[in-house]
Amino acid sequence: MKQENKRKQKILVTGCAGFIGSHLCERLLQVGYPVVGIDNFDPFYSIDQKMENMEGFKRHKAFSFYQLDLCQGATLQRVQEDVSLIVHLAGKAGVRPSIEDPQGYIDSNISATRNILDFMNKRGIKKLAFASSSSVYGNNKLVPFTEDQNVDHVISPYAFSKKACELLNHSYHHLYNLDIVNMRFFTVFGPRQRPDLAIHKFLNLMMKEEAIPVFGEGSTARDYTYVEDTVDGILKTCEYLFANKNVFETINLGNSYPIRLSEMIESIAKTSGIRPIINRMPMQAGDVNQTFANIRKAQDLIGYDPKFSFEEGMKLFVEWFKRIHIKEIVA
C-alpha cells in the first residue's frame, strides 16, 4: 500500500500494551499507519511491564491511546477517531487460569468481542483482524493442523472462548457484511513475553536457581512462533483486508515446526548458560499434547513467511530478559 494511503487508514489495536500488541503498534507506526490503542491494564501481570512495553511508541505523534474496559461496551464511544480497521488482540489468555475462572473468559473474550463487533456496526467500520488461538484444535490427532479441521472438541474454557468468538465473528460477517480474518496464533514468544508463559517463567526460575515445574515427561510439543513473525502475519492480514471485500477467512499463524518441552528447556539452558533444576509433575487438565500449524493457507492468502528459527528467537529473548533483569537489579 502506498504511504499516502496508509496515512488515511487508521488502525485500532486492542490490547496495545500487551506482548503482541505493543510489538504490532511499533511495526504499524514504523510502516506509516496511524494507530489508536486500547488497553485496560488488566492486572493478570505487572502494569509496570505493560507501561514499559509501550515506551517505544506511546509518545508517537500518530498514536493515540484510550484506557478502557471492552467488557463495558459503552466505553468504546469515547473513541473519537475515524478507524478503518480493528486488530482485536485484547482478552484473557491462558489455559489453566480459564479452568479456575471460566466466567471471566466468557466476559473478557466473548462479550468483549461482541462489543467490538457492535461498535464496528455503529461506526461503519468494516474490517476486523481477530486474534484466535491454536488451542481451538484441542488434542486433534491429525497433524499438522489445517484450518478446515473439525474444532468441536476443545478441552479448556479458554479454547472454547476463542472458538465461540470465531463463530460470533462469522455471524456478524453474514448479517452485516463485515470483512473478518480469524488469525490462530501458535505459542508466540520473544522479548516482552508474558511472565506466565513457559519460556519466560522457566528462565526466571533458573536465574533464581529455583526448580522449574515440568508437567509430564517433556514429550509435549509446541509450535513456537517468534513474535516478529506473528506481527508480520498480522500486518499482512491487515493489508489483505484493505485490498479485499466480502472476506471471511481463518488462517494459522505458526512456524510449522513443533519443539518438544524437553528440547525447549535444553535450548534455554544452552542459550542462557544456566542448568535447570527439574521438578517433575503430572500433566495438567486442559493442556494439549502438541500444536503444529499447517501454514500453507496463510502463505497463499497473505504471503505469510516466518523467518526466525526457534534458536534465533530464543537467543533474542534471553538477551532481552537479561537486560531487563540487570535493570531491575540496578533499580
Residue spans of beta strands (DSSP E) within 126-172 = 127-133
156 Cβ contact partners less than 8 Å away, ≥ 6 residues apart: 95, 98, 99, 135, 285, 286
Instruction: Indicate the angle between helix axes 112-123 and 157-176, nearest 10 degrees.
Output: 20
Nearest Cα to Cα of residue 89 among 230, 195, 292 = 230
Catalytic one of 33, 66, 137, 158: 158
Bridge partners for 14 per DSSP: 38, 88
Active site residue 172: no
Count of helices and strands (H, E) across the chain? 12, 13
Amino acid at 127: K
Q: What are phi and psi of 222, to 5 degrees?
A: -130, 145
From residue 62, alpha-carbon distances to 22, 29, 65, 243, 305 in Å are 15, 7, 10, 22, 28
DSSP state of 73: G
DSSP state of 81: S
Residue positions annotated with a catalytic role? 158
